[in-house]
């Protein structure tokens, strides 16, 4: 039984040839930010079963799959799309089903709050299953989604270890990564976000381009720091005017390992509500997060150790995500009224507060040439 091994502190289970490492499957199919916010479970599992535990993940293809393949604590990643497609005709689900029959799991943890993955319990061979459909976790007002996920496994894996766990990444070294160079310290700006093309750049999570331009001017004039703007290659069309400003460099279209390295070495990241915000937090880089319609108490940066500051305009209709008010909104007032001066002051305070404190040593990576 899983409970018995946890009590004994053993990270191994009996097999026909003696003992083998415990095997755990984690199910969390979502965007990059959802995947990052699921990583507190990794260290909880390693404490419960020992560092030799083999941890597999079921995630979305793309950035979520890529980031976990870079994490040296993860054994295998199963990318799944079209979650409602029946198992008998879903090739990737059938691969997972066969894998679990050949090497059954000791534990499966379903972190999904929706019903789309309820059928995993029928097809994945495991000794113990946590999460839906056995329980129905729900997001509560004022409770972060990470704490909702923790409620699924805290009783079995240990309440104390679970309470202390934070999003984290332990990345494999990449000796083939091409060096990049920026002359001096820099701040990373992340104005892009998922869904950016649904309504041009005027989507509700967008901070006005004019505000980004004014913020860049404030940072370059008053701090002397360089700026790097991140985004996908397709997003660059919205931000060309910013890239023409003095001291600004482009990271648009860079591969994920380059983005990670740049995030690790940035003095601070200023971002709208997006996966890169969570990635920076997990890497230990200070974050200024700009929130509009989304509920930062539910999906904001989650860390007790990484400096994070969430900024909102605080208007009475905020947050409004997935409500009738959001559908009717044509002004995007919650983001428009969040001023560049307020963002700069939060940035300046963050740097002043933490620049003289001893920070964890950043990895001594080769620099990145832009």
DSSP state, residue 361: P
Helix (H, G, I), strand (E, B) or coil at 344: helix
**Distance between CA atoms of residues 199 and 162, nearest Å:** 39
pLDDT at 198: 52
Strand duo 18-21 + 12-15: pairing: antiparallel
**CATH for 186-354, options being 3.40.50.2000, 3.30.300.30, 3.40.50.720, 3.40.50.300:** 3.40.50.2000
Helix (H, G, I), strand (E, B) or coil at 297: helix
CATH superfamily of 2-164: Glycogen Phosphorylase B; (3.40.50.2000)
Q: Are 12 and 22 in contact (CB under 8 A)?
A: yes
- Name the strand (E) or helix (H) holding 224: none
pLDDT at 8: 45
pLDDT at 331: 75
Contacts of 287 (CB under 8 A, 6+ apart): 268, 269, 270, 271, 277, 280, 281, 301, 306, 307, 308, 309
Helices (H) and strands (E) in the chain, counts: 16, 14
pLDDT at 314: 85
Other C-beta atoms closer than 10 Å to the C-beta of 256 total 15
C-alpha torsion 228→234→239→243, nearest 10: 50
| pTM of the predicted model as reported, rounded to 2 decimal places | 0.88
Q: What is the pLDDT along the chain (370 residues), one digit of tens a residue?
A: 454 554 444 455 554 444 689 999 999 999 999 999 999 999 999 999 999 999 999 999 999 999 999 999 999 999 999 888 999 999 999 999 999 999 999 999 999 999 999 999 999 999 999 999 999 999 898 999 999 999 999 999 999 999 999 999 999 888 777 757 888 899 999 998 655 555 544 477 889 999 999 999 999 999 999 999 999 898 898 899 999 999 999 999 999 999 999 999 999 999 999 999 999 999 999 999 999 888 899 999 999 999 999 999 888 777 877 677 777 777 788 889 999 999 999 999 998 887 655 344 443 433 333 3
Q: Among residues 176, 189, 152, which one has the least CA distance to residue 266?
A: 189
Q: Are 162 and 153 in contact (CB under 8 A)?
A: yes
Within the chain, which residue ranges are assigned CATH 3.40.50.2000?
Answer: 2-164, 186-354
**Distance between CA atoms of residues 99 and 56, nearest Å:** 11
Question: What does the longest C-alpha to C-alpha distance in the chain come to?
Answer: 68
Burial of 20 per CB tally in 10 Å (0-12, 13-18, 19+): middle
């Amino acid at each position: 039984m899983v409970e018995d091994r946890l009590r004994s502190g053993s990270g191994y289970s009996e097999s026909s040839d003696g003992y083998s490492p415990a095997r755990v499957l984690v199910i969390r199919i979502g965007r990059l930010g959802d995947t990052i916010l699921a990583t507190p479970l990794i260290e909880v599992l390693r404490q419960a079963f020992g560092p030799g535990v083999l941890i597999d993940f079921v995630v979305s293809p793309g950035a979520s799959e890529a980031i976990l393949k870079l994490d040296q604590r993860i054994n295998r990643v199963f990318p799944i799309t079209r979650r409602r497609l029946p198992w008998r005709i879903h090739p990737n689900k059938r691969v997972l089903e066969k894998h679990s029959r050949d090497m059954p799991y000791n534990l499966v943890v379903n972190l999904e709050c929706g019903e789309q993955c309820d059928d995993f319990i029928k097809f994945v061979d495991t000794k113990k299953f946590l999460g839906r459909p056995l329980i129905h976790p729900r997001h509560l007002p004022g409770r972060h989604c990470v704490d909702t996920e923790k409620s699924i496994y805290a009783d079995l894996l240990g309440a104390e270890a679970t309470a202390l766990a934070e999003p984290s990444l332990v990345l494999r070294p990449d000796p083939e990564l091409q060096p990049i160079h920026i002359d001096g310290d820099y701040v990373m700006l992340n104005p892009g976000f998922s869904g950016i093309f649904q309504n041009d750049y005027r989507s509700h999570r967008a901070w006005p381009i004019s505000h980004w331009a004014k913020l860049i001017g404030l940072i370059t004039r008053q701090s002397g720091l360089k700026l790097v703007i991140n985004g996908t290659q397709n997003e660059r069309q919205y931000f060309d005017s910013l890239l023409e400003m003095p001291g600004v460099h482009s990271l648009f279209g860079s591969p994920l390992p380059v983005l990670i390295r740049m995030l690790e070495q940035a003095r601070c990241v200023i971002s709208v509500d997006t996966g890169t915000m969570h990635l920076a937090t997990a890497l230990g880089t200070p974050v200024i997060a700009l929130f509009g319609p989304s509920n930062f108490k539910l999906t904001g940066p989650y860390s007790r150790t990484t400096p994070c500051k969430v900024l909102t305009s605080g208007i009475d209709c905020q947050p409004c995500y997935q409500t009738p008010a959001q559908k009717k909104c044509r002004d995007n007032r919650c983001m428009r009224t969040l001023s560049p001066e307020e963002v700069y002051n939060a940035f300046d305070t963050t740097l002043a507060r933490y620049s003289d404190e001893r920070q964890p040593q950043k990895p001594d990576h080769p620099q990145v040439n832009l």
